[in-house]
């Protein structure tokens, strides 16, 4: 309990520091949100118009006053108005982007973690065997590719040339969102290539991590004892070794789940997938403060919550931590 309480205090401090940086970093970039709007008129605005636009798109008051307003709005969950998509509430864009990012990156992480870990277990158990010496190097190599290359290759081959998969979007634009077979089918169909492009570059990492930890554990006394007791191979493999080996994997999983809300910029860009990464990229380019802040806040919260959950999961999975 003390362990968790200490962690909670740490998370609160980290959160406060993070929202302060969320506020400052966008403002340290040169330019402000109204610049893009004003530049788009190519000098055809007079001074009173420029002033009026700055006032309506930009922010009023000193930096300190803006900061206080911002902290207040964070606790009221008020994300403000987007300037890229004026006057759309940032919250609705964040929600829209986050939904699709969760579908895309969530599916990819779930697949990569499951398949990668299972392959890692197999490779470690039969280390030196065919499976290990064939898949381990290949998976490490896949892990070294950048998402940009893989996404573009998949897009070019399967969307452009073979036309097996759509050119982009999260679902058929003619379908309205609904919880039915047709819509979900369309979502999965559209997600196949983007998910694959993230999966291909990430499952090798899980494979390698799982394999390394497993191999270390395989020589431990408790494993030898378990075998000596005559337990079945599968029981030793999964209940004894894998359960211990999964602990550091869970911590990394929590981190990647947290970073998930950062979006998958390159994949989203190539497949025109309406996720957070794409929105954030545009927002940074045009200094859309409220969107950048909202997105960073979402990311901060997600990373902190995921870490907290991994702490709790570790406590549950590892009895040694319970005494704190």
Partner 1 sequence: MKTIRAIALLSVGVTALAVTAPTMAQDQVILRLLPYHTDAMVENYNPNNPTGPQQRMRDFAYEPLWIDNIWHPGENEEALAVGWEIGEDLKSITYKLREGVKWSDGEDFNADDVVFSFEYAKAHPDYPMGIDVYNGETGNVVSAEKIDELTVKFNLNEPDALARYGLNGLYPLPEHVWSGVDDPKNYANLEVVATGPWTKPANFSRNGHDLCRNELSRYNDENAIDCLRFPQMNGNEQTVAALSAGDLDWLGDGLTDPDVTFLPQSEFNNYWLPAGSDVNLQLNTTKAPFDNLEFRKAMTVAIDRQTLLDISTFGLTTATKFPIGTGEMYNTWYDEAALEPYKALMEYNPEEAIAILDAAGFVDADGDGWRDNPDGSPIAFGISMPSGWTDWVNTGQTVAENLQDIGVNASLKTVDQGAWFDAVPRGDFDVYVMWTNGGPTPYNQYSPMFNPRLMVEGQIDFQAMHQMQIPEVEAALDVFKGSADEATQKAALTDIHKAVAENLPVISLFANPIWYEYSTRRFSGWVTEDDQKFRPQVHDGTRERVWHALALKPIDGAEF
User: What distance in Å separates the CA atoms of residue 95 and residue 23, rounded to the nearest whole number?
Assistant: 20
- 181: contact with partner 1 by CB under 8 A: yes
Q: What share of the chain is helix, strand, coil (3-state, %, to 5)?
A: 75, 0, 25
- 234: contact with partner 1 by CB under 8 A: no
Q: Minimum Å distance from CB 323 to partner 1?
A: 38
Binding residues with partner 1: total (CB under 8 A):
63
β-sheet bridge partners, residue 81: 89
Q: Minimum Å distance from CB 136 to partner 1?
A: 17
Near partner 1 by CB under 8 A, which window of 9-17, 142-150, 155-163, 201-209? 155-163
- 319: contact with partner 1 by CB under 8 A: no
Among 209, 218, 201, 203, CA closest to 249: 209
Near partner 1 by CB under 8 A, which window of 60-68, 102-110, 171-179, 312-320? 171-179
Q: Which of 76, 128, 174, 178 binds partner 1 (CB under 8 A)?
A: 174
- 42: contact with partner 1 by CB under 8 A: yes
| DSSP structural state of residue 225 | H
- Which C-beta is closer to partner 1: that of 124 or that of 151? 151
- 37: contact with partner 1 by CB under 8 A: yes
**Is residue 86 classed as helix, strand or coil in its secondary structure?**
coil
Residues across the chain: 324
For 122, 125, 127, 133, 214, the CA distances from 130, given in Å and listed in that order, are 11, 12, 8, 5, 17
Q: Minimum Å distance from CB 300 to partner 1?
A: 22
Q: Which of 40, 62, 219, 234 binds partner 1 (CB under 8 A)?
A: 40
Near partner 1 by CB under 8 A, which window of 26-34, 62-70, 142-150, 209-217? 26-34
User: What distance in Å separates the CA atoms of residue 298 and residue 93, rounded to the nearest whole number?
Assistant: 12
Q: Minimum Å distance from CB 278 to partner 1?
A: 5
Structure tokens at 191: 């997600």
Helix axes 130-144, 90-125, angle to 10 degrees: 150
- 126: contact with partner 1 by CB under 8 A: no
């Amino acid at each position: 309990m003390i362990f968790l309480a200490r962690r909670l205090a740490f998370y609160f401090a980290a959160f406060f520091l993070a929202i302060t940086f969320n506020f400052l970093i966008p403002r340290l970039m040169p330019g402000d949100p109204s610049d893009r709007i004003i530049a788009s008129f190519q000098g055809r605005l007079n001074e009173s118009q420029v002033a009026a636009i700055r006032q309506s798109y930009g922010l009023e008051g000193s930096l300190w006053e803006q900061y206080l307003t911002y902290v207040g709005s964070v606790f009221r969950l008020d994300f403000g108005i987007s300037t890229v998509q004026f006057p759309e509430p940032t919250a609705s864009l964040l929600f829209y982007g986050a939904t699709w990012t969760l579908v895309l990156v969530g599916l990819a992480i779930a697949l990569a973690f499951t398949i990668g870990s299972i392959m890692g277990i197999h490779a470690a158990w039969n280390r030196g065997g065919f499976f290990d010496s064939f898949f381990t190097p290949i998976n490490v190599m896949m892990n070294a590719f950048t998402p940009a290359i893989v996404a573009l290759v998949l897009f070019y081959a399967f969307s452009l040339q073979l036309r097996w998969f759509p050119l982009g979007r999260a679902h058929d634009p003619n379908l309205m969102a609904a919880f039915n077979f047709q819509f979900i089918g369309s979502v999965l169909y559209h997600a196949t290539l983007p998910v694959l492009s993230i999966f291909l570059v990430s499952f090798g990492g899980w494979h390698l991590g799982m394999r390394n930890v497993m191999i270390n554990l395989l020589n431990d006394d408790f494993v030898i004892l378990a075998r000596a007791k005559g337990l079945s191979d599968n029981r030793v493999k999964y209940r004894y070794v894998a359960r211990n080996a999964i602990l550091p994997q869970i911590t990394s999983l929590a981190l990647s789940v947290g970073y998930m809300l950062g979006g998958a910029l390159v994949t989203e860009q190539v497949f025109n997938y309406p996720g957070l990464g794409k929105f954030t990229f545009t927002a940074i380019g045009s200094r859309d403060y409220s969107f950048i802040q909202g997105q960073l806040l979402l990311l901060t919260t997600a990373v902190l919550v995921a870490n907290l959950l991994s702490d709790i999961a570790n406590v549950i999975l590892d009895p040694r931590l319970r005494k704190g």
